[in-house]
Every structure is written in structure tokens, then in C-alpha cells.
């Protein structure tokens, strides 16, 4: 009921423990707070909050148009609805090292368990597109150093993302990953790896946990958790998966509604009223006030959600 009672500190400690466990963890991307509840219910380890989804949700492309305030606010709304740790995409950190420091403190305040900061030039773009540019190693390291120094909770995870693989190749990605760990990164996100062997090469280069981005329609095939675990990957994200599937379902339903004049054919594909109420824990609110939970679903007894 209401928000998670697990504190941000507990979630950060849990994230640290799962990354140290040696078992690969899966973080699907939540496109809103309700989907974060679904991710938890289905037994996942954590919630990812994608910069691309945040931007696309606002109708914008993922090119660094969103602001720190927008990202911290939305990420906080998502993080507070789940007991799971949430990792947020902080793009390039929203500015110079001083801005990166403020970003980290705002994300801590918003209850996140960690964030990743990338080494792209501004304006940044999706890591799986061509034509990316990265900053030099010194500039990238300063961003990470500023982030690591700014956190007040030592368990807040600073993950460094490097996009250099697509620009200068795998050896450069290994060097960059080492430099970012030296600058204080707790974990590495090597973006746009082409093969499982490339993840293994990053694993060989650093001792910290590494993340695999299993985004669809990108540069990487969709490797299984088993394949990734065998390559030494610790965490996998599926950043845009739920948004893509939900938006495709919305598109299909609008097409049907337009063509047939009714949504009837799509009703079996919908989350039922009862299931939706279950997800928002409607019944529990009765604890405060019985009059809140006195509705009746037609054909069912009062105060019963039934199964439909």
C-alpha cells in the first residue's frame, strides 16, 4: 500500500549484495511506477529506469533533451513504488563535473540505488546508433570522480558507461573501462558490445561488476542470461522492452477501434479491472476507510475483486 517501506539505504545495500553474489541479476526497464510493481511481482531482481524511455514517454527523442529535474522526479516516482533497487540512466550527468556531482545528490535524494554516467559528447544519442562521439579519457574520468566524491551514501552505485567501443574498438573500451574504475567507478557498462566474447574481454579488463544492455533492434544480439553469465556479466538490463510492447499493443488497439468501431476484439488482451486493482493493492486501502473499498463489480458480490 502507498509507497515501498524499504528504505533507499536498504535498497542500495541489497544492490551491492546482489552484485557481489556471483549470480547474474536481471533489471527490466519500468516505463512508469505501475510497471515497476509488475517487475517486482514477477520476481525480478531490480528495476532499470531508461533515459530513452523517459525521453520517449515525453514524446522526445533520446538526445539529451530531458533535464535533471525531469529525470530525478520521474525516477523517484518509479523507485518509491518498489522494494527493489532501481538503477537510473543519468546520460552524461547533465553537464560539467560540478553538475554531475549535483546529479548524484539529487538522485540519492530521489531514492535511487545507483546511476550510470556515460562518456559521450553532448548532445548524446542512443548508444546503438552510428555516429556517436566520446570525450577524452581525462574528461570521462573527471565525470566519474565527481560522481563518486559527491555521494553521501557509500552504497549508492556509480556505474560508468563507455560508448567508446563503437568509435575506437574493443581495446580502447578495455583501456577506458580500466581508467573509469581507477577514477572511482563501482561498475562498468560497456555499451554496444557486438558479441558475448566482447563482454568477456571487458570482464578480463576490470574487477568490478559489468552490465549488459539487451536492448532490441540494436548492435548486440539478444543473448540469454546463461550466455552472459558465462561471459562474466553481473547485471542485464532490458531498457525499452516494456515500453515497446505496451506501445505496440496501444497502436494495435487504436487501429482495431478505428477499423471496427469497437475495442471488443482486443478486450481479451487487456489487463482486467480486477487485475489492475490487484496491482495497485486497492483492497489494502480498506484498512484506512471502508468507504473507499465499497464498489461493486457488476455481477460480483460487493467488496470482492473476483478473478475477472
Ligand X SMILES: C[C@](O)(C(=O)O)[C@H](CC(=O)O)C(=O)O
Interacting residues with ligand X (CB under 6 A): 50-52, 62, 89, 126-128, 213, 215, 218, 239-240
Is 62 marked active-site? yes
Residue 280 Cβ vs ligand X, minimum distance, rounded to whole Å: 26
Is 56 marked active-site? no
Q: How far is residue 111 from each of residues 15, 41, 165, 292, measured CA to CA in Å?
A: 13, 20, 31, 29
Task: Give me the catalytic one of 74, 108, 126, 234.
Answer: 126
Which one of Mg ion, ligand X, none is in contact with 215 (Cβ closer than 5 to 8 A by kind)? Answer: ligand X
Give me the residue label for grid cell 524511455.
53
Is 80 marked active-site? no
Q: Name which of residues 50 to 69 contact Mg ion (CB under 5 A).
A: 51-52
Q: H or E stretch including 307?
A: none
Task: Give me the catalytic one of 91, 106, 119, 155.
Answer: 91
- Is 59 or 298 the residue whose CB approaches Mg ion more closely? 59
Nearest one of 192, 204, 162 to 179, comparing CA atoms: 162
Angle between helices 68-79 and 33-41 (to 10 degrees): 40
Q: Name which of residues 216 to 255 contact Mg ion (CB under 5 A).
A: none
- 268-299: b (≥16 Cβ within 10 Å) or e: eeeeeebeebeeeebeeeeeeeeeebeeebee
Is 281 marked active-site? no
User: Binding of Mg ion at residue 186 (CB under 5 A)?
Assistant: no
Give the count of beta carbons closer than 10 Å to the beta carbon of residue 73: 14
Q: Which of 45, 89, 155, 198 binds Mg ion (CB under 5 A)?
A: 89
Is 161 marked active-site? yes
Is 251 marked active-site? no
Is 126 marked active-site? yes
Q: H or E stretch including 289?
A: none
User: What does the block give as the cell for 151?
Assistant: 555521494
Give the separation between CA 50 and CA 35, rounded to whole angstroms: 13
Give the separation between CA 174 and CA 202, rounded to whole angstroms: 6
- Is 51 or 97 the residue whose CB approaches Mg ion more closely? 51
Task: Give me the catalytic one of 12, 16, 74, 116.
Answer: 116
- Is 44 or 48 the residue whose CB approaches Mg ion more closely? 48
Residue 53 Cβ vs Mg ion, minimum distance, rounded to whole Å: 9
Residue 83 Cβ vs Mg ion, minimum distance, rounded to whole Å: 25
Task: Give me the catalytic one of 12, 16, 74, 89.
Answer: 89
Residue 174 Cβ vs ligand X, minimum distance, rounded to whole Å: 20
Task: Give me the catalytic one of 12, 191, 238, 244.
Answer: 191
Give the separation between CA 237 and CA 234, rounded to whole angstroms: 10
Residue 52 Cβ vs Mg ion, minimum distance, rounded to whole Å: 5
Q: Is the dihedral of CA 285, 287, 288, 294 positive or negative?
A: positive
Task: Give the residue closest to ligand X by C-beta.
Answer: 50
- Is 52 or 159 the residue whose CB approaches ligand X more closely? 52
Nearest one of 66, 109, 111, 60 to 90, comparing CA atoms: 66
Residue 147 Cβ vs ligand X, minimum distance, rounded to whole Å: 17
Give me the residue label for grid cell 553469465.
229
Residues 282 and 305 sit within 8 Å (Cβ to Cβ): yes
Which one of Mg ion, ligand X, none is in contact with 40 (Cβ closer than 5 to 8 A by kind)? Answer: none
Active site residues: 48, 62, 89, 91, 116, 118, 126, 161, 191, 213
Applying CB under 5 A, the residues found at the interface with Mg ion are 51-52, 89
Amino acid at each position: 500500500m502507498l509507497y515501498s517501506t524499504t528504505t533507499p539505504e536498504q535498497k542500495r545495500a541489497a544492490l551491492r549484495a546482489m552484485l557481489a553474489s556471483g549470480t547474474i541479476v536481471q533489471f527490466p526497464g519500468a516505463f512508469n511506477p505501475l510497471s515497476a510493481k509488475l517487475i517486482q511481482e514477477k520476481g525480478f531482481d531490480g528495476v532499470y529506469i531508461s533515459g530513452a524511455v523517459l525521453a520517449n514517454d515525453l514524446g522526445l527523442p533520446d538526445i539529451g533533451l530531458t533535464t535533471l529535474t525531469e529525470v530525478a522526479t520521474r525516477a523517484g516516482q518509479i523507485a518509491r513504488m518498489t522494494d527493489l533497487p532501481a538503477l537510473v540512466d543519468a546520460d552524461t550527468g547533465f553537464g560539467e563535473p560540478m553538475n554531475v556531482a549535483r546529479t548524484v545528490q539529487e538522485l540519492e535524494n530521489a531514492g535511487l540505488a545507483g546511476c550510470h554516467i556515460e562518456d559521450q559528447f553532448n548532445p548524446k544519442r542512443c548508444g546503438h546508433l552510428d555516429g556517436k562521439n566520446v570525450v577524452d579519457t581525462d574528461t570521462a574520468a573527471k565525470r566519474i570522480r565527481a560522481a563518486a566524491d559527491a555521494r553521501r551514501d557509500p552504497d549508492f552505485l556509480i556505474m560508468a558507461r563507455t560508448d567508446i567501443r563503437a568509435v575506437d574498438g574493443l581495446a580502447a573500451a578495455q583501456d577506458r573501462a580500466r581508467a573509469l574504475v581507477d577514477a572511482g567507478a563501482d561498475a562498468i557498462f560497456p555499451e554496444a558490445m557486438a558479441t558475448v566474447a566482447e563482454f568477456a574481454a571487458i570482464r578480463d579488463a576490470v574487477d568490478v561488476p559489468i552490465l549488459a544492455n539487451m536492448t532490441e533492434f540494436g548492435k548486440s544480439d539478444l543473448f540469454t542470461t546463461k550466455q552472459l553469465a558465462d561471459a562474466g556479466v553481473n547485471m542485464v538490463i532490458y531498457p525499452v522492452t516494456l515500453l515497446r510492447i505496451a506501445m505496440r499493443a496501444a497502436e494495435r488497439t487504436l487501429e482495431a477501434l478505428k477499423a471496427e468501431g469497437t475495442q471488443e476484439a482486443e478486450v481479451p488482451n487487456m489487463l482486467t479491472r480486477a487485475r489492475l486493482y490487484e496491482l495497485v493493492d486497492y483492497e489494502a486501502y480498506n484498512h484506512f476507510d471502508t468507504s473507499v473499498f465499497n464498489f461493486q463489480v457488476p455481477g460480483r458480490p460487493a467488496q470482492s475483486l473476483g478473478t475477472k
